A and B are shown apart, each in its own frame.
Chain A
């Protein structure tokens, strides 16, 4: 399943979508960036409520397929531009992190 397909199926709002055809191969959730760095795998959809610029660095380094902002969180000012520049997909959802994770897991199973 691609990031674009995930967006369609879960009615996600694109914040930055430079690479919609990127394949989603798994999922990870967490807000403490060192845990994410240590545990998220390449291709994961990363569900988080963190919205600062460091999210983009962590997404770049872990090579996740997309960042999914839960709970209707919006990125801090200027961060969406950086995401586009770094080629990082970011989408948002009003669902809680728990609900969003369960829906992503449903799609992946």
Chain B
């Protein structure tokens, strides 16, 4: 068992202009490592949605992407308000994003469903007033 290759990013919660930058960096890194288009696409989408969620709802946070030979694990950790009802948040179309966020093209209520759809495993640990930690795994085909 070799140690994974790990990338860490701070997600700036104030800044919609830089939102997505960590995802773009991860995409480039995975491309250089020679992963398939499908794996790169799934990781990029899941990570971008998570990153945007952290900017919209949690005033930023921390992302860590670990690359193993057989899987890529994305951990998104924030100190935001927590998710009161995860089942509801997982429903396609359900959104609590404020109006000015919607005018930027976000808040379609597809973030968490897109993350789930593009990963093989996803767990959400959340506590009201403490924060949310999402762990997603994309398996790499052999």
- Minimum CB–CB distance for B135 against chain A, Å: 20
Q: Count contacts between A and B, CB distance < 8 Å.
A: 69
Q: Decide if the interface of chain A is mainly helix, strand, loop or mixed.
A: helix
B27 touches A34 (CB 8 A): no
Contact flags (1/0) for B81-121 with A, using CB distance below 8 Å?
00000000000000000000000111011110010011000
- Contact of B132 with A by CB under 8 A: no
**With A38-B114, A57-B48, A60-B27 in contact, is A33–B106 under 8 Å at CB?**
yes
- Chain B window 12-30, contacts with chain A (Cβ cutoff 8 Å), 1 for yes, 0 for no: 0000110111011001000
A11 within 8 A of B: no
Q: Chain B residues with Cβ under 8 A from A52's Cβ? A: 16, 104-105
- Is B37 on the interface with A (CB-CB < 8 A)? yes
Within 8 A of B (CB), among A19-55: 31-35, 37-38, 42, 50, 52-55
Q: How large is the interface on B (under 10, 10 to 19, 20 to 34, 35 or more residues)?
A: 20 to 34
A86 at the B interface (CB under 8 A): yes
> How close is A74's CB to chain B, nearest CB, in angstroms?
16
B9–chain A nearest beta-carbon distance, Å? 14
- Tell yes or no: A58 within 8 A of B by CB: yes
- A32-B110, A35-B110, A38-B110 known; A54 and B24 CB under 8 Å? no
Is the Cβ of B106 less than 8 Å from the Cβ of A38?
no
Cβ of A53 and Cβ of B16 under 8 Å apart? yes
* A54/B45 contact (C-beta < 8 A), A34-B111, A38-B114 known: no
Rounded to whole Å, the gap between the CB of A70 and the closest CB of chain B is 14
Q: How far is the CA of A21 from the CA of B117 in the complex (A)?
A: 32
Q: Quick check: B105 and A38 within 8 Å, CB to CB?
A: no
* 30 contacting pairs across A/B (C-beta < 8 A): A31-B105, A32-B106, A33-B52, A33-B104, A33-B105, A33-B108, A34-B109, A34-B111, A35-B108, A38-B110, A42-B37, A42-B41, A50-B104, A50-B105, A52-B104, A53-B16, A54-B19, A54-B20, A57-B19, A57-B24, A57-B48, A58-B20, A58-B48, A60-B24, A60-B27, A61-B20, A61-B27, A61-B44, A62-B41, A62-B45
By a beta-carbon cutoff of 8 Å, the part of chain A in contact with chain B is 31-35, 37-38, 42, 50, 52-55, 57-58, 60-63, 86
